[in-house]
Amino acid sequence: MNTSPDNTTPGFNGHDHELMQRARALHEHACEHVDAATRAKLAMARHQASAAQDHRPRRMIWLPATGAAVACALVIGLVWFKPQPNNPDAPPAQVAAMPDAELPPDADARQFDLYQNLDFYQWLARQPQTRARPPGGRR
């Protein structure tokens, strides 16, 4: 029994060499004489594989371009719709520029009763000013 690991050692004798040569010759001959139907199927399989390759670079080209466009749109959107500093005391810029008279009554305002009794307060404003004496106060 031959236990040599490879044909590069002397353990592979001429018989092994002849066997390998014969096997390869038969294989080469069989590869050269493949029937037409199988050759056609192999060619079709190869064309399908090549078509898969043709689609691949196109997708790779569009991928960075699409990513760059999306990034640009995102940056523009962030700059354009940048949120204003949230200061509760300061009125919004557009509202602050408007005259007070054009302001509609604010339903959520604290002085909602002022607008309900507006006639009374107008009458009160027309009355002459008198100094009210505080109870128990000094003169």
Partner 1 sequence: MHGIGDDVDGLGRLAGTVEVSLAGAALAEATLETARPVARSIDAFLASVERRAWRAAEIALNDSDEALDAVQDAMLRLVRHYSAKPAEEWPLLFWGILRRRITDLQRRRTVRNRVLVWTGRTRLDEDGGELPAWDAPDPGPDPARAFASRQAYAAMSAAVRKLPRRQQQAFLLRVLEGLDVADTACAMGCSEGSVKTHLSRALDALRGQLEAWR
The single residue among 30, 79, 97, 125 that binds partner 1, judged by CB under 8 A, is: 30
The single residue among 52, 107, 125, 132 that binds partner 1, judged by CB under 8 A, is: 52
Q: Which is nearer to partner 1, 20 or 74 (CB)?
A: 20
Q: Give the 3-state DSSP-derived string for the chain, with helices as H, strands as E and coil as C.
A: CCCCCCCCCCCCCHHHHHHHHHHHHHHHHHHHCCCHHHHHHHHHHHHHHHHHHHHHHHHHHHHHHHHHHHHHHHHHHHHHCCCCCCCCCCCCHHHHHCCHHHCCCCCCCCCHHHHHCHHHHHHHHHCCCCCCCCCCCCC
Indicate whether 63 belongs to the interface with partner 1 (CB under 8 A).
Answer: no
Indicate whether 68 belongs to the interface with partner 1 (CB under 8 A).
Answer: no
Q: Which is nearer to partner 1, 3 or 129 (CB)?
A: 3
Q: Which stretch binds partner 1 (CB under 8 A): 24-32, 69-77, 84-92, 123-131?
A: 24-32
Contact positions toward partner 1, by CB under 8 A?
1-24, 26-27, 29-36, 38-39, 41-43, 45-46, 48-50, 52-53, 56
